[in-house]
Structure 1
Amino acid sequence: MIHYNLSCDNGHGFDGWFASSDDFDRQAAGQLISCPTCGSASVSKQLMAPAVATARKKEAHQALVMDKAQKETIAKLREIVNSIRANAEDVGERFPEEARKIHYGEADQRGLIGKASADEAIALLEEGIEIAPLPVIPDEAN
């Protein structure tokens, strides 16, 4: 994973984590990244110091645990994701096709969840179809 300091065209700063530099470029080009403050999809990477792994940093990472507030936030997020799943139809790999049918009035409006590749998600967004990634929440053991 790569961590970037990001900012929008309105000057709001925020963090982002990406699988690779190409992943950031692909998501930014498809306007899949937006400012959490104002919603702007015009986002760019900011200059940042390289992350250098030192013995002290490794020790700090090994000692990192969630505090009570973080655990409560994860629990709330898990509750939201479970509610979304309970109130949506899981169409699996047919997600892009079903989302288009709803968007173009060929199927009744309803909540959908399913799978889409990055290219499929970008194509849906370019067609004006509102989609959002569903976060994967760590299980209770994590």
Structure 2
Amino acid sequence: MIRYDLTCKNGHAFDSWFASASAYDALEKAGQLSCAVCGDARVTKALMAPSVKESEAPRQPRRLSEPGTPLERAMAELRRKVEANSDYVGDAFAREARDMHEGRSPERAIHGEAKPEEARRLIEDGIPVAPLPFAPRRRTN
């Protein structure tokens, strides 16, 4: 995994994790990146400082459930709204989106997961989809 500091053309700064440097490059080339704050697709890597461990006593870590920065609070609020106002369909996202678009299933707000090639086919076929700036929580039985 690799973390990049990113910026959009509107000046918003945020970071994101990628499986590898080549995974970032592939997502950028496919137009699959967007600003976590405003949704702008014109995203670039920002200059980053190396990660250096502190030599002093470690700071008390914040619990992950407590967003600290304005960006973290905005992301938490976006996640809360998405989860409260849409149905999680998991790996069936591409099929569900296509079925709704083609009238085989009633329209409703959904979120889930799709492979990059599935998302690309949906977009190419004119089916409106957008990536979320966070991974869905896994739901188990």
TM category (shorter chain) comes to 0.5 to 0.7
Shift of 1:17: 2.1
Mapped pair 1:20 → 2:17: no
Mapped pair 1:101 → 2:117: no
Mapped pair 1:65 → 2:66: no
Q: CA RMSD in A?
A: 3.6
Shift of 1:89: 6.2
TM-score normalised to the size of structure 1?
A: 0.63
Letter in 1 for 2:84: S
Letter in 1 for 2:96: E
Equivalent residue runs for 1:25-64 within 5 Å = 25-52=25-52, 54=53, 56=55, 60=58, 63-64=60-61
The 8 Å contact of residues 95 and 114 in structure 1, kept in 2 or not, is answered as: yes
Distance 1:50 1:112 in 2: 38
Task: State the 4+ residue runs in structure 1 displaced beyond 4 angstroms.
Answer: 73-82
Distance 1:136 1:68 in 2: 15
TM-score normalised to the size of structure 2?
A: 0.63
Equivalent pairs: percent with the same residue?
35
1:130 counterpart residue number: 129
Rg: which structure is higher? 1
Shift of 1:43: 0.8
The 8 Å contact of residues 30 and 126 in structure 1, kept in 2 or not, is answered as: no
* 1:77–1:44 distance in 2 versus 1, CA, 3 Å: closer
Gaps of 5+ in 1: none
The number of equivalent residue pairs is 131
Deviations 1:75-129 (A, max 9, x none): 8677546524xx5263x44321221222244432123344322322233234442
2:110 counterpart residue number: 112
